[in-house]
């Protein structure tokens, strides 16, 4: 091992150790940092300037992390208190950009892992957006519409101080969809006494939203996987696909995969999964989850040939050609990855953020499975969010096919840039290494240009 190589490796491990010490018990944040930083060893070796400029120390420390109390009154007149978060991680490329997650598991570790991923993902899109993320440990499950509104308004009553169309632009994530964005936008507008459309993305089409935003993460993931398949002369036609989740990402991943000729046989929610050998009926899933806000188990009432199995992680026992994990972090562990490989999976595209554990990723890469990591494969959502910001600034709306064409081009570019980086740094075809390096270099070079700040 050359001196440069060993010292580059040492540098990366020293930074990882500082992260672990400085952020005790934040396991998800450590995991995301480890995946990214290990990929960057060959870059540190080739370009010592990144080390001289302290780029890794700076890029892994958020510019700021805001936490705040969110008090609200439930339908029984009881006072409830949740915790709100916004991490403004990196503003080198543009205003902080990233979604809000409402889920009981939300804590500083989850928000920081998501924020760190977002920096690199946003850079990969090629658009002028920095990295941020936020949310709350509020659990939307079982809450009435009025409770959702009261909580969301209270959340914005504090968050508004820190955001703005040129400062920080939140959007949705798990538990935050069109309804929540509408309430957040209404409350922001009321406090600010003005219509700053570009302060949030994922808005309704009638008040500044963009066509294709709601479909973008799922469609983008399927487009990205299509590029991976094409590189091996494969396609979706006749392929068996398993998609975990049944939220916004999963629904539109299923729709696009079906349009491309695939047969989607399973999807899930946090309670369990459904398997329909005839192919999932998407209209039923959409109505159950988007309109009636019911459980996925209800699908079998209308489709008796389908089976419901409790325990969402068991979805990975179903043999498939293509797996699209679109539910949540760490939903595929080493054992599930081995099972998928044994059952002949050819491609995995991460619609969710960090759905595969580090061990699972190794299993896929060692088995030669085409693997599209989340920060590349699911970047379509935030990419169309940035297009929504552009349209808001122009006070003009593009047509569906115009946004969809731009989305397809962005996903192709991310694939191309990631493959090129993987080749330049001796890991040809490894999109984990490639996407980390391609995203990193865009941010790091701009950080150097802007000085030590």
Question: CA 374, 60, 430, 28 torsion: positive or negative?
Answer: negative
Question: 419: Cβ–Cβ under 8 A, 6 or more apart, which residues?
Answer: 231, 428, 429, 431, 434
* Residue 368: Cβ within 10 Å count: 11
Q: Quote the least distance from Cβ 292 to ligand GLU, whole Å.
A: 24
In the bound state with ligand GLU, the residue whose beta carbon lies nearer, of 245 and 381, is: 381
State the binding string over 385-404 for ligand GLU (x if CB under 6 A, else -).
Answer: x-------------------
Interface with ligand GLU, residue 220, by CB under 6 A? no
Applying CB under 6 A, among 95, 198, 381, 434 the residue interacting with ligand GLU is 381
Instruction: Look up residue 194 and give its DSSP letter.
Output: S
User: In which region does residue 449 sit, left (phi positive, over 0), alpha (psi from -120 to 50) or beta (all else)?
Assistant: alpha
Interface with ligand GLU, residue 95, by CB under 6 A? no
Return the residues of window 126-155 that contact ligand GLU according to CB under 6 A.
none
Question: 10: Cβ–Cβ under 8 A, 6 or more apart, which residues?
Answer: none
- Residue 430 to residue 259: CA distance in whole angstroms: 28
Which part of the chain contacts ligand GLU (CB under 6 A), choosing from 96-104, 137-145, 272-280, 314-322? Answer: 96-104
Applying CB under 6 A, among 136, 154, 201, 430 the residue interacting with ligand GLU is 201
Applying CB under 6 A, among 30, 51, 86, 97 the residue interacting with ligand GLU is 97
Q: Quote the least distance from Cβ 190 to ligand GLU, whole Å.
A: 22
- Residue 62 to residue 65: CA distance in whole angstroms: 7
Interface with ligand GLU, residue 91, by CB under 6 A? no
Whether residue 303 contacts residue 282, with contact meaning beta carbons closer than 8 Å, is answered with: no
Q: Quote the least distance from Cβ 425 to ligand GLU, whole Å.
A: 25
Residues binding ligand GLU: what is the number (CB under 6 A)? 10
As given in the structure block, the two tokens for residue 150 are: 């009261």
Which part of the chain contacts ligand GLU (CB under 6 A), choosing from 92-100, 262-270, 295-303, 444-452? Answer: 92-100
State the binding string over 165-184 for ligand GLU (x if CB under 6 A, else -).
Answer: ------x-x-----------
Helix axes 400-424, 213-230, angle to 10 degrees: 40
State the binding string over 11-50 for ligand GLU (x if CB under 6 A, else -).
Answer: ----------------------------------------
- Residue 294 to residue 284: CA distance in whole angstroms: 11
Q: Quote the least distance from Cβ 205 to ligand GLU, whole Å.
A: 16
* Residue 450: Cβ within 10 Å count: 10
Is 406 one of the annotated active-site residues of the chain? Answer: no
373: closest CA among 385, 389, 387, 357? 357
Applying CB under 6 A, among 95, 98, 349, 372 the residue interacting with ligand GLU is 98
Task: Name the residue whose CB lies closest to ligand GLU.
Answer: 99
Chain position carrying tokens 């554990």:
357
| Residue 73, beta-bridge partner list | 79
Return the residues of window 346-375 that contact ligand GLU according to CB under 6 A.
353
Chain position carrying tokens 């969402």:
312
- Which residue in the list 133, 263, 289, 442 is annotated as catalytic? 133
In the bound state with ligand GLU, the residue whose beta carbon lies nearer, of 42 and 95, is: 95
Instruction: Look up residue 291 and give its DSSP letter.
Output: I
Catalytic residues: 133
Residues that bind ligand GLU (CB under 6 A): 97-99, 171, 173, 201, 353, 381-382, 385
């Amino acid at each position: 091992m050359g001196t440069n190589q060993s010292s580059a490796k040492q540098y990366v491990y020293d930074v990882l150790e500082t992260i672990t010490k400085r952020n005790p018990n934040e396991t998800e944040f450590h995991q995301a940092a480890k995946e990214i930083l290990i990929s960057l060893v060959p870059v540190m070796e080739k370009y010592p300037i990144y080390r001289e400029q302290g780029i890794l120390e700076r890029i892994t420390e958020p510019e700021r992390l805001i936490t705040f109390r969110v008090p609200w009154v439930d339908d029984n007149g009881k006072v409830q208190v949740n915790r709100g978060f916004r991490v403004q991680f990196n503003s080198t490329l543009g205003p902080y950009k990233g979604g809000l997650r409402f889920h009981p598991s939300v804590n500083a570790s989850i928000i920081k892992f998501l924020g760190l991923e977002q920096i690199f993902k946003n850079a990969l899109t090629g658009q002028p957006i920095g990295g941020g993320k936020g949310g709350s440990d509020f659990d939307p499950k079982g809450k009435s519409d009025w409770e959702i509104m009261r909580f969301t308004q209270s959340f914005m009553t504090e968050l508004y101080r820190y955001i703005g169309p040129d400062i920080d632009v939140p959007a949705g994530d798990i538990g935050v969809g069109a309804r929540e964005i509408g309430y957040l936008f209404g409350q922001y507008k009321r406090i600010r006494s003005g219509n700053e459309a570009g302060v949030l993305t994922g808005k309704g089409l009638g008040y500044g939203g963009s066509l294709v935003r709601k479909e973008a993460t799922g469609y983008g993931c399927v487009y990205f996987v299509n590029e991976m398949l094409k590189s091996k002369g494969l396609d979706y036609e006749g392929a068996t696909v398993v998609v975990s989740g049944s939220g916004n990402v999963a629904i539109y991943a299923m729709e696009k995969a079906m349009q491309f000729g695939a047969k989607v046989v399973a999807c899930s929610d946090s309670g369990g999964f459904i398997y329909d050998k005839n192919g999932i009926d998407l209209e039923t899933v959409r109505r159950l989850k988007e309109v009636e806000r019911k459980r996925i188990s209800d699908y079998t009432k209308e489709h008796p040939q389908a089976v419901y199995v409790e325990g969402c992680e068991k979805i990975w026992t179903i043999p498939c050609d293509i797996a699209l994990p679109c539910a949540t972090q760490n939903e595929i562990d080493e054992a599930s990855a081995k099972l998928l490989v044994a059952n002949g999976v050819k491609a995995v595209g991460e619609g969710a953020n960090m759905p595969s554990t580090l061990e699972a990723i190794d299993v896929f890469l060692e088995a030669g499975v085409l693997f599209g990591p989340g920060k590349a494969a699911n970047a379509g959502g935030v990419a169309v969010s940035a297009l929504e910001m552009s349209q808001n600034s122009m006070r003009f709306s593009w047509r569906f096919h115009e946004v969809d064409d731009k989305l397809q081009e962005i996903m192709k570019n991310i694939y191309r840039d990631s493959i090129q980086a993987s080749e330049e740094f001796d890991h040809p075809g490894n999109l984990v290494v490639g996407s980390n390096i391609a995203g990193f270099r865009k941010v790091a070079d701009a950080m150097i240009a802007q000085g030590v700040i």
